[in-house]
C-alpha cells in the first residue's frame, strides 16, 4: 500500500530534482523515492551500533566483560 507524502521545496530545488529525474529518465516522484531510499540506506550503514551488530561478534554481560578486561590488565 502506498501513502502520499507532500513535501514543499524551494523552486530552485524543484528545478534540480526535475533535471536529475529527466537525466535518469524517471519521473520526479520516482527519482525522489530512490533518493530517499539511498539516503536511508546510507544512514543505516553509518550507524556505529548497526555496524557492530552486523559483525556478529560475541557479546556478554557488561559487568563480566569489564571484569575480564580488568583481569587482563593485572
pLDDT per residue as tens digits for the range 5-14: 999 999 999 9
1-42 confidence digits (pLDDT tens): 999 999 999 999 999 999 999 999 999 999 999 999 998 887
40, part of any domain: yes
- Residue-range definition of the domain harbouring residue 49: 11-73
Q: Compute the distance between CA of residue 1 and CA of residue 21 in angstroms, rounded to an integer.
A: 24
Task: Quote the pTM value.
Answer: 0.58
In a domain, 15, yes or no: yes
* Helix, strand, or coil (residue 37): helix
Flag whether 1 is in a domain: no
68 found inside a domain:
yes
**And the C-alpha cell for 8?**
514543499
Q: How confident is the model at residue 43 (pLDDT cuts 50, 70, 90)?
A: low
In 1-74, where do the E strands start and end? none
Domain count, the chain: 1
4 occurs within a structural domain = no
- Whether residue 42 lies inside any domain: the answer is yes
Amino acid at each position: 500500500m502506498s501513502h502520499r507524502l507532500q513535501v514543499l521545496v524551494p523552486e530552485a530545488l524543484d528545478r534540480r530534482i526535475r533535471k536529475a529525474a529527466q537525466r535518469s529518465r524517471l519521473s520526479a516522484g520516482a527519482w525522489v523515492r530512490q533518493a530517499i531510499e539511498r539516503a536511508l540506506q546510507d544512514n543505516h550503514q553509518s550507524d556505529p551500533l548497526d555496524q557492530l551488530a552486523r559483525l556478529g561478534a560475541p557479546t556478554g554481560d557488561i559487568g563480566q566483560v569489564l571484569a575480564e578486561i580488568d583481569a587482563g590488565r593485572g
